[in-house]
Amino acid sequence: MSELLANHVAGQWQTGQGPGTPLFDPVLGTELVRVSSAGLDLAAAFDFARHTGGAALRALTYAQRAAMLAAAMKVLQSHRDTYYEISVANSGTVKNDTAVDVDGGIYTLGTYAKLGEGVGDRRWLLDGEAAKLGKDPLFQSQHILSPTRGVALFINAFNFPSWGLWEKAAPALLSGVPVIVKPATATAWLTQRMVKDVVDAGIFPPGALSVICGSSAGLMDQLQPFDVVSFTGSAQTAAVIRSHPAVTQHSVRVNIEADSVNSAWLLPGEASGSEAIDLLVKEVAREMTVKAGQKCTAIRRVLVPQSLYSTVAQALSARLAKTTVGNPRNESVRMGALVSQEQKASVLAGLAQLKTEATVLYDGNSTTLVDADASSACVAPVLLGTESPMTAKVLHAVEVFGPVSTLMPYDSIDEAYAMIRRGEGSLVCSVYSEDPAFTAQASVELASSHGRVHAISPDVAALHSGHGNVMPMSLHGGPGRAGGGEELGGLRALNFYHRRTAVQGSALALDQLAAQGVALPL
Ligand code: NAP
């Protein structure tokens, strides 16, 4: 039997009871390690993090905690090769895709180390200016933000075991809030190893960083009023989290990052052969194939003017045909596997659902896999298309979490807006056009239903960060179906881990507050 990974709780490494759940190589099918959270004293784990870890972190300033993030980043950088090996084995990713997760996580941690340094030697934050509460200016109100005296529980998705940890842990720890992370079981190994390296390096105080691998049973039951929970995963599990008594009865603050049927939109007015079309085609193909389409931000719907439907279909199919799929250890492979047999089954079932309303424009599954066979979790890119997207239902509603996208023609701008909004709230929409005025107008129009609008024109062709890449300086999250959450956005991320309080009193006392505090340099 393979190694049973230890959990880190109450300041100690502890293995769970029983044989545990095995994690597999999705290409070779071999068992890698096991995880178990059975028998852990969860109450003691949360209590230790909340009280011992929390008190120690809150005693530090933002600048001191930022220095710890920087030290953690260096530790992670020194073990990078190990993380790449784990990712290839457990997530089935090619090197470039591993970088999105591993290096993306380390980069995000480093960004918060720098941002936190700028907040300085303070332990709480000012929020805005003092305001008079009546005619006499002596009695005023000043808002302040103080770190919550609870624990931050992270329940994470399988697709980003590194980035998903650090994009949440960096702002939490910088805020002075201890973290307990429960990675998705299928890919928990990388999260566990990264936490282990950082904990063993002794950077953070005991109780600041805990990891629980395996079943989520009982975790939500531990939450108390000042705790927060940040969930990333499917809409179905999100509904379970939202309806848990900790949230409904104790007002535990919750952030949800759920699934999303994101779109890319080629604005009208582009002639066949234009650079904007080329940019759209490159990006859609990239989004379909990076991490085998297992990205919450990936492009699922591609909207193009009716007159360009065939042109884009051909260009996209030709580009996708260049994607070699198979074992990520083979240098010629451009796209690895889905993370598990369960995900493969889920993608194939989702694809069958989409096909009830769409036809296949390109299917890479007719070509041979490289160094892998049909028993692996590899699925090649599939481009679907529909001539009647306005009457489609499934195509706007079902997120197939794999290398699948659907091309949709539109007749008018209003029709395009209506279709994009049928996603009922998405993480990101990208717009492609050479017309800056129209791009600006479209961005405002799309803002209310998206967390991010990625506006691409030829002048930023070589500069842009990519439709699906989540940058720490920009907001991540989306309204409605996307979960309604907000993450990152630079120092805005600290809001989730702080409580806002209005202090009403004499202007003399508030002057003292203002002299001691600092506002977030947003
Ligand atoms: P999932 O099945 O919902 O699982 C997410 C996490 O919830 C896992 O850690 C899972 O643990 C845990 N979990 C399952 N049931 C639970 C329960 N009853 N109580 C508490 N926790 C529970 O999602 P997934 O399959 O890992 O991730 C894929 C989905 O995540 C996609 O839909 C994708 O769009 C979405 N996603 C969104 C974002 C974003 O930022 N918006 C980012 C990445 C992924 P186990 O693994 O042990 O079951």
Q: From the CA of 184, how far away is ligand 1's center (Å)? A: 7
Using the Cα atoms of residue 340, residue 341, residue 342 and residue 346 in order, give the sign of their dihedral.
positive
Tokens of 264: 């890319």
Measuring from atom 15 of ligand 1, which residue has the nearest CA?
237
CB 335 within 8 A of CB 323: yes
Atom of ligand 1 nearest to the CA of 155: 9
* Separation CA 414–CA 483 (nearest Å): 25
Average pLDDT over residues 261-285: 93
Tell me: the pLDDT tens digits for 379-396? 999 999 999 999 999 999
* Separation CA 431–CA 265 (nearest Å): 5
Q: From the CA of 186, how far away is ligand 1's center (Å)? A: 10
Query: What is the pLDDT, as a whole number, of residue 273?
Result: 87
* Separation CA 459–CA 48 (nearest Å): 53
Tell me: the pLDDT tens digits for 194-233? 999 999 999 999 999 999 999 999 999 999 999 999 999 9
Tell me: the pLDDT tens digits for 36-94? 999 999 999 999 999 999 999 999 999 999 999 999 999 999 999 999 999 999 999 99
Residues with CB under 6 A from ligand 1: 155-160, 182, 184-185, 216, 220, 232-234, 237, 240, 257-259, 296, 399, 401, 427, 483
Residue type, 396: H
Whether 519 has a pLDDT exceeding 90, the answer reads no
- For a mutational test of ligand 1's pocket, the pick from 23, 100, 257, 259, i.e. the residue with the most ligand atoms closer than 8 A to its C-beta, is 259
CB 465 within 8 A of CB 100: no
Tokens of 202: 């002794």
**Burial class (CB within 10 angstroms; exposed 0-12, middle 13-18, buried 19+) of 143:** middle
Query: What is the pLDDT, as a whole number, of residue 271?
Result: 85
- Residue 152's SS3 state is strand
Measuring from atom 38 of ligand 1, which residue has the nearest CA?
296
CB 102 within 8 A of CB 83: yes
* Separation CA 469–CA 466 (nearest Å): 5
- For a mutational test of ligand 1's pocket, the pick from 100, 160, 215, 232, i.e. the residue with the most ligand atoms closer than 8 A to its C-beta, is 232
Among 302, 258, 262, smallest CA distance to 481 is for: 258
Atom of ligand 1 nearest to the CA of 156: 9
Alpha helix positions (H), 435-502: 436-447
Tell me: the pLDDT tens digits for 482-503? 999 999 999 999 999 999 999 9
pTM of the model: 0.96
Positions annotated as catalytic residues are: 257, 296
